[in-house]
Chains A and B, each alone.
Chain A
Amino acid sequence: MRIMLQALLHALCGIAGFWFVSSPDQAVPPAEVQPSLKKSAKPIASARYSAPLPLASEAGLAQLTPEDWAEAIHPVSQARLHELPVMLRGLLRNPFPEVRRRLLHPLFERWAALDHAGALAALRGIPSPQDKQSALRAILGVWTKSDADAAWQYITDMEDDSVLQEAGIEILLGLNAGADPLRYAAWAGQLDDVFLREKALVQIGDGWMQKDPQGALAAALTAEPARLRDYLLSKVCHRDGVDHAAGLETVAQLPTQAERSRLSEEWLGAFANAKPQEAFQWLLGHADRAELQKAAGTLGGILAVKTKTIAELRALALQLPAGPLRDAFVARAADEWASAGRSLAGAQDLLSLCGPCLERESAQETILQPKWENRPTD
């Protein structure tokens, strides 16, 4: 019996040895790998399997994944000053940009709270511009609470890194401009660099629309510079809680037909996405306005997605007076109906309500595409 057991043990050891070197993964010859790709997570992954590391250690931070990064927030935000450089090194070794972005924020918030100058010095040593920007955002967040003027001065004086400087301006505008957007807009309007001016105005506009969309809409027509007015009018329609009918009335007051046409399309599209029936009723009430032709097409496209039957769409279309608006509405609706994989016969039926025009030709082209050949016609 003992001999049998020993024989079995030896056989098992032999099998284990065989398995050890010939597991399926190792049998696959690695294909040629580009040098830059070879250097990623290998040491991290290997170490990870062997033993878990303290989360806040250099190696621990280097190994965090998008699945478990949040566990490190607490240790990072409670770290002592001398631990922060080590943590930063670990984080910068982490291969996941998302993990770095998320954790650089609490790390630099903590650093800025404990040693403001040290945090700024450490920030400048970060190689990735996006990581640098995440760190700067955290530092400026802390700094503006205690001394916003000094924070602005620091950014204004940063002449050796124009990319970081402009990121800093955007961050500071995001933190401060909401309190008095028009004052900051006046400042931005004087910037000579047109691209920086645009970035600043977008930042101011976004902050304003987020904080008070109705207020932004009310002030949009008179906002200066004119580029801010354009930006607000083209974007505020997509914000929750904004009154689309009021916005469309504001747009109707614009001086040029081209502006009214372009912005009505934007607004009616946003209206239709939020309240499709109300948007249609609004168009019906203003169907005598030539500048709404393009907007009618956009509405037709959205309603084609939101409406269940072609009969409903037909009924809606027939409420519009014959002419450019109805044609645009019908053609775009038929186009969307066909593109969404619904009945081609239905799309053709709807398109029969459309007069001769470019929109009709375009929809016809969509419906007759060879790729639909195998689709049932009704």
Chain B
Amino acid sequence: MLPYCRLLTTTSLCFALGAFAGWWCGPSATAPGVANATAGPAPILPGTTSPAAKPPPFTSAAASMEWVRARMQKGDTTAAERFFHHDAGLTDEQRIGLARELMQNARRMDPHVLARIILGLPRGQAADTLLWRLVSDWSTNDAEAALLFIETLPPDRLNTVGVLTNSAFGLSRLPAERVLALAARLDDHGRSYLAEGLVGFADQAGSWRNTAAILAKLNGPSPPDAISAEWMLGMRLAEIAPQSLESQLTTETDPAKRDKLLQGYAHETGRNDPPRGLEMDARIQDPKVREKHIKYHTEHWLESDRTAALAWLRSPAAAQLMDREQRAKLLRTYHLEAVR
């Protein structure tokens, strides 16, 4: 054997022995339980690790973002995730702060990377808000991919207004059968949130023909605490096509749906024209909703034309619509007494 061949063989053997030792020591370097004790490290993509630079010590979210951008210029598109590994040593607050910064720069990020980061954050209001922003942004830019992501969310995160209403802007552009496949995974609340969002964005995205095809099969009972599609439809049409809404109110045969349409109509109308809104409020069947609307519109009127609103509050018309105590309370705010 030539001396060089022997040298090559022995050095290779040393390399292999070193590698074996490394493999042997590797798992025990992270003691069992350590990874679990650190709240949910963000998942990493196998295979992208060896050439990846370790992130610098955290100083601020903005500085970390700069580093991420510099890495992305070199093609390292998953660099941001390494800040979220437990060995990067960030506190939960820092992780959330950095995730917010990344979301601010969402247009520069791969949404799949952002999704992994956000789902790895400790659960809470901050993480939920980021998730809602992500699905809103993602579905606006790529509804197809966003839908694939949304479908994988666990039920407690999926059936939320934040996810379903926010993503409806983008989802409304997808074929009805794709959206209905998502709807099949939702509970009553989820379907209601999705329907509300689809109607709410009907004059901005998608097409009513497509949206109506989805709504026709989503048409289940709305939970009492959810905003229904009819309520939202009443609200949108009040602004863009009140005449069309008037004829729908005439033709709607289901009293519950008709009342919801009217509630949305009255709500929106009264925001722009409180006295007209109050007239419509009087026609609302649900007594609790009627009372809430009347209070809201009266207050709105007082804040936009106090003189006229106070005169109305002391008139017989108000006495028919509001109880004495409610009127007296509002009038006392202005140091006035109720007339009767």
Is B289 interfacial (CB-CB < 8 Å)? no
Q: CA–CA, A32 to B17, complex, Å?
A: 31
| A45 contact set on B, CB distance < 8 A | 45, 48, 75-78
B15 in contact with A14 (CB, 8 Å) = yes
Q: CA–CA, A26 to B85, complex, Å?
A: 11
Shortest Cβ distance from residue A65 to the other chain B in the assembled complex, whole angstroms: 5
B333 in contact with A357 (CB, 8 Å) = yes
Shortest Cβ distance from residue B226 to the other chain A in the assembled complex, whole angstroms: 22
- Known A-B contacts A10-B14, A27-B26, A163-B207; the reply to A49 vs B43 at CB < 8 A is no
| A37 contact set on B, CB distance < 8 A | 43, 112, 115-116, 119, 149, 152
Q: CA–CA, A13 to B22, complex, Å?
A: 12
Shortest Cβ distance from residue B8 to the other chain A in the assembled complex, whole angstroms: 10
Q: CA–CA, A105 to B23, complex, Å?
A: 49
B149 in contact with A356 (CB, 8 Å) = no
Is A328 interfacial (CB-CB < 8 Å)? yes
Chain-B contact segment, one of A73-81, A178-186, A193-201? A193-201
- Known A-B contacts A162-B209, A162-B210; the reply to A13 vs B18 at CB < 8 A is yes
Kindly supply a per-residue 1/0 record for chain B positions 144-188, scoring 1 wherever the CB is within 8 Å of any chain A CB and 0 otherwise.
110011011000000000000000001011100000000000000
Is B108 interfacial (CB-CB < 8 Å)? yes
Partner of A18 from B21, B275, B303, B306 at Cβ < 8 Å: B21
| B152 contact set on A, CB distance < 8 A | 34-37
A26 in contact with B26 (CB, 8 Å) = yes
A261 in contact with B305 (CB, 8 Å) = yes
Partner of A66 from B11, B41, B72, B210 at Cβ < 8 Å: B72
Q: CA–CA, A14 to B113, complex, Å?
A: 36
Q: CA–CA, A30 to B26, complex, Å?
A: 14
When C-beta atoms are compared, the residue in chain B nearest to A40 turns out to be B112
Is A212 interfacial (CB-CB < 8 Å)? no
A48 in contact with B75 (CB, 8 Å) = yes
Q: CA–CA, A19 to B21, complex, Å?
A: 10
A17 in contact with B142 (CB, 8 Å) = no
Is B261 interfacial (CB-CB < 8 Å)? no
In this complex, the interface size class of chain A, counting residues with CB under 8 Å from chain B, is: 35 or more
Q: CA–CA, A28 to B78, complex, Å?
A: 16
Chain-B contact segment, one of A114-122, A277-285, A287-295? A287-295
Is A156 interfacial (CB-CB < 8 Å)? no
Q: CA–CA, A361 to B274, complex, Å?
A: 20
When A and B form their complex, what is the total count of cross-chain residue pairs whose Cβ atoms lie within 8 Å? 262
Q: Tell me the chain B residues, 94-139 only, with Cβ under 8 Å from chain A.
A: 107-113, 115-116, 119-120, 138
A17 in contact with B15 (CB, 8 Å) = yes
When C-beta atoms are compared, the residue in chain A nearest to B271 turns out to be A262
Q: CA–CA, A15 to B11, complex, Å?
A: 11
Q: CA–CA, A13 to B9, complex, Å?
A: 11
Q: CA–CA, A189 to B50, complex, Å?
A: 61
Q: CA–CA, A196 to B7, complex, Å?
A: 78
Shortest Cβ distance from residue A95 to the other chain B in the assembled complex, whole angstroms: 4
- Known A-B contacts A31-B42, A328-B303, A356-B335; the reply to A20 vs B206 at CB < 8 A is no
- Known A-B contacts A33-B43, A37-B43, A96-B110; the reply to A20 vs B303 at CB < 8 A is no
Q: CA–CA, A320 to B67, complex, Å?
A: 53
Tally chain B residues at the interface, Cβ within 8 Å.
100
A128 in contact with B202 (CB, 8 Å) = no
Kindly supply a per-residue 1/0 record for chain A positions 66-93, scoring 1 wherever the CB is within 8 Å of any chain B CB and 0 otherwise.
1110000000000000000000000000
| A261 contact set on B, CB distance < 8 A | 304-305
Is A227 interfacial (CB-CB < 8 Å)? yes
Chain-A contact segment, one of B57-65, B216-224, B237-245, B250-258? B237-245
A163 in contact with B210 (CB, 8 Å) = yes
Q: CA–CA, A267 to B120, complex, Å?
A: 45
B303 in contact with A293 (CB, 8 Å) = yes
A294 in contact with B44 (CB, 8 Å) = no
Is B208 interfacial (CB-CB < 8 Å)? yes
B75 in contact with A63 (CB, 8 Å) = yes
A28 in contact with B11 (CB, 8 Å) = no
Of residues A28, A35, A195, A259, which shows the largest number of chain B Cβ atoms within 10 Å of its Cβ? A195
B276 in contact with A258 (CB, 8 Å) = yes
Q: CA–CA, A40 to B148, complex, Å?
A: 12
Partner of B41 from A28, A38, A196, A291 at Cβ < 8 Å: A28
Is A145 interfacial (CB-CB < 8 Å)? no
| B308 contact set on A, CB distance < 8 A | 257, 290
Shortest Cβ distance from residue B244 to the other chain A in the assembled complex, whole angstroms: 5
- Known A-B contacts A36-B149, A66-B107, A194-B237; the reply to A17 vs B141 at CB < 8 A is no
Is B272 interfacial (CB-CB < 8 Å)? yes
- Known A-B contacts A13-B14, A49-B75; the reply to A42 vs B35 at CB < 8 A is no
B207 in contact with A162 (CB, 8 Å) = yes
Is A54 interfacial (CB-CB < 8 Å)? no
A67 in contact with B72 (CB, 8 Å) = yes
Shortest Cβ distance from residue A263 to the other chain B in the assembled complex, whole angstroms: 10
- Known A-B contacts A18-B19, A21-B22, A33-B116; the reply to A65 vs B73 at CB < 8 A is yes
| B27 contact set on A, CB distance < 8 A | 27
A32 in contact with B299 (CB, 8 Å) = no
Q: CA–CA, A288 to B240, complex, Å?
A: 32
Besides A13-B15, A17-B17, 14 other A-B contacts (C-beta < 8 A): A17-B18, A18-B22, A25-B52, A27-B26, A65-B73, A67-B72, A95-B111, A97-B145, A98-B108, A128-B143, A129-B174, A195-B202, A261-B305, A358-B333
Task: Show 20 A/B contacts (Cβ-Cβ < 8 Å), sorted by A.
Answer: A13-B14, A13-B15, A15-B18, A19-B18, A23-B50, A36-B148, A40-B45, A41-B110, A41-B113, A42-B48, A45-B77, A48-B77, A68-B73, A97-B138, A101-B141, A128-B142, A194-B208, A257-B308, A258-B274, A290-B306
Smallest CB-CB A-B distances: 10 pairs: A17-B18, A40-B112, A258-B273, A14-B18, A17-B19, A48-B75, A97-B141, A25-B49, A18-B22, A129-B173
